[in-house]
Amino acid sequence: MTVGNLKLGVDVVSAHNLLPKDGQGSSSSFVELYFDGQRYRSTIKERDLNPVWNESFYFNISDPSILHSLTLDAYVYNNVKATQSRSFLGKVSINGTSFVPYSDAVALHYPLEKRGIFSHVRGELGLKVYITDEASIKSSTPVVEETQVPSERVSNSGHNVKNETRHTFHTLPKRVSEPQNQPPPVVEVPYHSTKYMADEMKAPEPIPPKLVRMQSAQPADYALKETSPFLGGGQVVGGRVVRTNRPAAGTYDLVEKMHFLFVRVVKARDLPAMDVIGSLDPYVEVRIGNYKGVTRHIEKQQNPMWNVVFAFSRERMQASLLEVVVKDNDLVKDDFVGLIRFDLNEVPMRVPPDSPLAPEWYRLEDKKGEKMKGELMLAVWIGTQADEAFPDAWHSDAATPIDSSAAASALIRSKVYHAPRLWYVRVNVVEAQDLVPSEKTRFPDAYVKAQIGSQVMRTKPVQARNFNPLWNEDLFFVAAEPFEDHLVLTVEDRVAPGKDEIIGRVIIPLTFVEKRADDRIVHSRWFNLEKPVAVDVDQLKKDKFASKLHLRVCLDGGYHVLDESTHYSSDLRPTAKQLWRPPIGVLELGILNAVGLHPMKTRDGKGTSDTYCVAKYGHKWVRTRTIVDNLFPKYNEQYTWEVFDPATVLTVGVFDNSQLGDKGSNGNRDLKIGKVRIRISTLETGRVYTHSYPLLVLHLTGVKKMGELHLALRFSCTSFVNMLCIYSQPLLPKMHYVRPFTVMQLDMLRHQAVNIVATRLGRAEPPLRKEVVEYMSDVDSHLWSMRRSKANFFRLMSIFSGLFAVGKWFRDICMWKNPITTVLVHVLYLMLVSFPELILPTIFLYMFLIGIWNFRYRPRYPPHMNTKLSQAEAVHPDELDEEFDTFPTSRNPDLVRMRYDRLRSVAGRIQTVVGDVATQGERLHSLLSWRDPRATAIFVTFCLVAALVLYVTPFQVIAGLAGIYMMRHPRFRYRLPSLPVNFFRRLPARTDSML
């Protein structure tokens, strides 16, 4: 991509509901565009309050590096011919952070803004803004100042630009060269970054972890523990990394520095032939102590190419000599070709951001140390996990001391995954025309089946009295970029129960479907149905005929596609990138180590685990390397995410890699060890959180601690004002409130989205398996669980406990349990009644004082999973078995019958409570509905008398007497219910109409 061809394209689509400015109820409007010192103007639409332009303009982008700080301004004016002037109709400003490639651009209708305080504007302006690098596109002709604005002008774009192939990209190109007289740009370095130095430092004595007291008391073994690790050459003190060495520019200051010996095996040349026929199948074996890494063998090649990196943990090295051996693969015994030895004391240290070490040619030696034919290109250096070769390297701590090939290391490498961008596909099936059923004597009982991949939806069958059935139903799907599956719609006729015949079908590629980011109307289209002739559907011979299908199809980009539980959502942005806000901060995660992991498999007669961690936030998934055969693994890997909303959750899970060694009883499924959730809004900005989180998993035998995971977290805010503004914005994008989905639709679409994400991530190497994606996304959170139902009930009771406490306190006041307190409450009440203007200030001042008082007791640690809150400590075994049962059930009928009876008992009590609440509401409604004519007459008469009394009596007197009456002494009380309660309970409800 060349910088000189980079342009900003602006399609001026239309305007809507403009303000009339010509004195005759209309306006002659045009649009002026301003960007980076360039100005273009659209044509004038005479006397039209809803003009349509569909004109395209292209601005030159002089410096892509400052594009995010530029602004596109669009001004709408009314042309006044009489005075050869113009009047302001509104403006739109679009920041450079919203500019997207052409493939992601959709037309958006922006509300017109005022130019000043006294401006009066209304309406919307439709624009499509995108970045393109097409060399065939020329910049538009700039506006020439003239006395008279031309009434009509041909657009510079032409329609052929729309049909040209567009190249898409997701990042702006860097500048190729800087001007000679301009100094190099200054790179800003975050204050918390550190650079690894060549000198090693001895780690101080570890500080014992401190137990964190949670709000709900639970066993200490399940509680969060605060630690103070030594990170990046420093120590965490008061939530800050205090370094003991001089600071420098680098990364990885949230994890402990680990040193590795890196060996890059690039290629070989002129290797000697080891066979009689002169063939050679070479491979390279890198050995240090008991650890050995092996490349793949290349058949019949004397100049092989490998380009493989091996990383040996320095703390596990038990030798001072590195041997790189070239061998020939043979069926009986591998032949020795040559070797190269390195003294580890002579290996150089590389410190990023230094350039990578250049590989060199080394002459092979025999076992006696004499030079021989053949050379091997190698690079050997000592680095840290900040080295760019670290993620793709074969790791000694991720392999057993026995032989482990580089080909098998693909399953244990650390990787970064990006989930695909998901779209909602809205298919509005309107009607069909001239359907031709197989039986000409009957009207078709037709319905439409829509399919995208494995997703299938159907409309309701319509028994029309003609051959033009009408449905007008919306069907929703989830699709992922790049779009691989087509939308297939089939019109079928229900000939008999269980027998359907295909009338016709239409196939629509999703790449041609219109995208939208708001709720504008999508134009409908008629599609010709293709009629199948053959009986076999897989080998249909199709011909065109008169039947048609009327559809509205669009890709809705204004929604956020929910692919995880809404309670633990890590991303709330809409699909359309034009609607994304700028990031408010950066989240940094250091995955340090795990302690005391539970053995998940047996190897060589002892329990062990091959563990890796997965972290998910937004579209970015990360996976650490697998540490093999270790119950106390050290990962020390650091990752970074951009944060767009503080009301999001980071999820970190630990899994056992079941792809290594013999398959256990669970087959290929990676086993879950536990996960940690951290809500971003609970973190203070700039503070380093270092905690050891218990890994808790619910099994059939109850809750079980599988170990502890040590994490380091830091949330850095880049714009404090933007973060505060986020709290005033809706949680979900606008379309979720303008055109909301039903709960059933959201559950169905979420299930489809999780399947798509799991399928796409499963194609990577190493694959992120489906069970991992489902566990991280809480795919089963909507299923029934007696334990969760109890937990939610007690959560509800704890929320209302404050109200119950206030009610008990007021009841004690009314019963004069403490006369002094009761008298003081009477005095305060009469003061507030006498001066009602003090009521609201008193309430807010009281809440302010409570908030200031509670600041001393504020939570200082992020919340973690609570076994007592989850009702997981004393759960019944049968309830756990029911929770882990499949859906539909796989248990025997007698057990299901018992559980069904228990569920009926619980649901009966819930049904009674819901019915009682509904009854009270219906009684309120019947006060004025004349369902009981005598009761309504009494209430209406009471309302008239009360209105007259309240009109002539001051409000303070009424309120004071009512309060004194409610707090009267028990001597003046009766045990029977009061008159208003008796009257209310006698009112009719709709229970009489229930079957």
Query: Which residue(s) pair with 57 in the sheet?
Result: 10
**CB burial string 485-522: b at 16+ within 10 A, e below:** bebebbbbbeeeeeebebbbbbebebeebebbbbebeb
Asked if residue 818 belongs to a domain, the reply is yes
- Do 601 and 630 form a contact (C-beta atoms < 8 A)? no
- Do 575 and 617 form a contact (C-beta atoms < 8 A)? no
- Do 231 and 688 form a contact (C-beta atoms < 8 A)? yes
Q: Do residue 731 and residue 603 come from a single domain? A: yes
Q: Do residue 349 and residue 489 come from a single domain? A: no
Final residue before a domain boundary, out of 132, 164, 187: 132
Cα within 13 Å of Cα(613), Cβ side: 26
Round to whole Å and give the CA distance between 175 and 97. 18
Query: For residue 690, what are the CA distances in angstroms to 239, 673, 709, 773?
Result: 8, 21, 11, 26
Over the Cα atoms of the chain, what is R_g? 36
> What does the block give as tokens for 524?
């409908």
Q: Do residue 768 and residue 795 come from a single domain? A: no
Asked if residue 229 belongs to a domain, the reply is no
Number of domains making up the chain: 5
Please enumerate in sequence order all residues whose Cβ is within 8 A of that of 903, keeping only pairs 6 or more positions apart, or say none.
none
Final residue before a domain boundary, out of 90, 115, 132: 132
**Residues spanned by the domain of 700:** 577-777
Asked if residue 1 belongs to a domain, the reply is no
Final residue before a domain boundary, out of 379, 413, 447: 413
Asked if residue 563 belongs to a domain, the reply is no
Give yes or no for a cis peptide into 353 (omega within 30° of 0): yes
Q: Do residue 37 and residue 101 come from a single domain? A: yes
Instruction: Write out residues in the chain with pLDDT < 50, as ranges.
Output: 1, 144-204, 215, 246-250, 401-407, 534-544
CA dihedral 172, 177, 183, 187 (to 10 degrees): 40
Q: Do residue 402 and residue 439 come from a single domain? A: no
Backbone angles phi, psi at 756, to 5 degrees: -65, -45
DSSP 3-state assignment of 890? coil
Closest CA to 548 of 506, 508, 495, 502: 506
Asked if residue 492 belongs to a domain, the reply is yes
- Do 528 and 432 form a contact (C-beta atoms < 8 A)? no
- Determine the pLDDT at residue 172: 36
> What does the block give as tokens for 227?
């630690």
Round to whole Å and give the CA distance between 292 and 318. 13
Prediction pTM value: 0.77
Q: Do residue 835 and residue 752 come from a single domain? A: no
Q: Do residue 809 and residue 761 come from a single domain? A: no
Asked if residue 145 belongs to a domain, the reply is no
Closest CA to 491 of 465, 522, 525, 467: 467
Q: Do residue 490 and residue 605 come from a single domain? A: no
- Determine the pLDDT at residue 400: 53
Q: Do residue 749 and residue 792 come from a single domain? A: no
Query: Residue 717's domain is classified under what CATH number?
Result: 2.60.40.150
Read off the amino acid at residue 474: D
- What sign for the dihedral angle of Cα 79, 83, 86, 87? negative
Backbone angles phi, psi at 857, to 5 degrees: -105, 25
Asked if residue 238 belongs to a domain, the reply is no
- Determine the pLDDT at residue 277: 66
Asked if residue 141 belongs to a domain, the reply is no
The residue whose two tokens read 């506006």 is 143
Q: Do residue 375 and residue 434 come from a single domain? A: no
- Determine the pLDDT at residue 410: 67
Q: Do residue 966 and residue 819 come from a single domain? A: yes
Q: Do residue 341 and residue 321 come from a single domain? A: yes
> What does the block give as tokens for 295?
């490349």
